[in-house]
Structure formats: C-alpha cells, structure tokens
Structure 1
Amino acid sequence: MATNSRTWFYSRPEPRPYYIEERVNHTLWNNRIQGVFMSCTQAANPIKMEGTLNGMPMFFEWEPGLYFILRMGEERKDIIGTIRQILFGLKPSFAYQDVDSMYVIEWHTDSGEARWRDIQGNPQYQGLRRLTAPTAT
C-alpha cells in the first residue's frame, strides 16, 4: 500500500485505529524509518499514536491539517528531518522538553503563534525555542 501524509495528515482519515496505523506506519517505512511500529491510541481528534524506535519511546499527536507533535526520548535530527519530508517540507515551528523529559517538536500549518503564546513562560515546557520565524500580524 503506497501512502503518504495526504491520507492521514492533510485530510481527515477514517476514525478507525487500524486504518490510521496502516497509513502512518507505511508512510514511516517508505521514508526509511524502519524498526518502528506506531499504535493508534486515539482515533478521534486529536489523533494519538505511540510506539518505540529501537527502544526509544515515540509519540505522535495531530489534528489533520492543523498541527503535528512528535515526542521522543531524545533529540534525533534524522527523525525530525524525515518527519519534515513526510509532511511535504512543512518546517517545524518550535521545540522543547516536556515534564516527562521527552524531546518535543511541533509543526503548525499556521506557524503556531497561538500555541507559542500559550506555552511561552509555562514551566512545563523547558528549553522552548522557536524554529521558524513568527508570522507578521
């Protein structure tokens, strides 16, 4: 099955965990992220998945067409770059460490200004840094 993020991020997938798992996992494997299997833990928005990559925990959360959040046990630039490719070149908006010491990258189709304002200064988000320039208002 050839699939890409158009079938699960840029359009709303059917809210069936198996279909979401099949599409996302095939997309990851087709983009050379082997050794991972993501399980769908929530098929309604926001969609959530969890899995491991060679023993490292990974979590996905997204609302189709709006944002994608990757949480992982350590900063892996190769994974971040591949997710960017999977999302058709969408640049990551910001990065931080959460209360569970997970490394988090967020991609937003609208640059994430509202989210940035919400989390800025919140002690739950350590090392918060912007990865793309803010949009003019």
Structure 2
Amino acid sequence: MSKLSISWFYTSPGDNAHRVAERVRQALWTSGLTDLWLDGTSTSAPYKLTGNYEGRMLELDWTPTEWLRMRAQSAPPRLIAQMSWMLGFKPGIHYTDNSGHQVWEWVRGDNTARWMEISGNPTYLSPARLPVK
C-alpha cells in the first residue's frame, strides 16, 4: 500500500465529489500518471470518478477498503501497474464489458463471490481470474 492511496481508498475520502476527485487525481499525478483527468460523480460509496487517461475513457468505482473497479477504453500496462502499486495488491479479475471496455477489479480478500457473479454471466466477455501474487 502506498501512502498516496490512504486518503481515498483506505479511509473514507469524504462527501464532496470535487474533493474526492481532487484527492484521487493528486495521488495519481504524484505517482507519475500525469496524462489523466477525473471528475467526481458520486458523494458516497461506491464512489465513482469519470474522465480520461491519455485521451481515452477511464472510470473508477470503489468502496473504500473493499474493492476498486477500473473501466477503460483501453489501458496500458503502466496504468494497471501504478494502480496496483498504490493499492498494495494486484487486480484479481479482468473482463470486457458489453460496451467493449476493458475492466479490472481489485478486491481485498477473497474474490470468489465476485468471480462467481462474473464467470456465469454472458454480459461479461472473456472473464479471467488473475493471479494476485
């Protein structure tokens, strides 16, 4: 876990969408992901930010201390690696949604229940349970 994720993933980031987005943006920019913009669209868990990375659509949804979902038009490995470094663990699930967007999910603890939801549902294309070690 990086100190950069403490203020928004490992604790409640607050109830002001602008401040939540600013905390996450600052953390991601500080980690080196400078070609990124996110705006807040919710004020309580699950939090949601929408924007872009390198000009391509990017969305983050999360419930603090539990899980984070990153949905992207396409995401370079660097984005996934930086998010994993910040959170302190790797994504455990990857799939393509019915809009053709790539989705990665970081779930703290056992992701079996979430995997069961995804693997048997035809709206999730090419689901993969990823090694987290």
* TM-score higher than 0.5: yes
Partner Cα separation in structure 2 for residue 56 and residue 100 of structure 1: 14
Aligned length: 130
Partner Cα separation in structure 1 for residue 117 and residue 87 of structure 2: 24
SS of equivalent to 2:84: helix
Q: Aligned-pair distance for 1:123?
A: 0.9
Q: Aligned-pair distance for 1:37?
A: 1.2
Partner Cα separation in structure 1 for residue 26 and residue 113 of structure 2: 32
Counterparts of 1:93-108 in structure 2, within 5 Å, are 93-108=92-107
Tell whether the 8 Å contact from 1:69 to 1:107 is kept in structure 2 after alignment: yes
How many percent identity over aligned positions? 28
What corresponds to 1:5 in structure 2? 5
Partner Cα separation in structure 1 for residue 54 and residue 8 of structure 2: 24
Normalising by structure 2, what TM-score? 0.93
Normalising by structure 1, what TM-score? 0.90
1:36 has 2:32 as partner: no
Tell whether the 8 Å contact from 1:93 to 1:111 is kept in structure 2 after alignment: no
Tell me which stretches of 4 or more aligned residues in structure 1 moved more than 2 Å: none
What letter matches 2:65 in structure 1? G
Unaligned runs of 5+ in 1: none
Tell whether the 8 Å contact from 1:93 to 1:131 is kept in structure 2 after alignment: yes
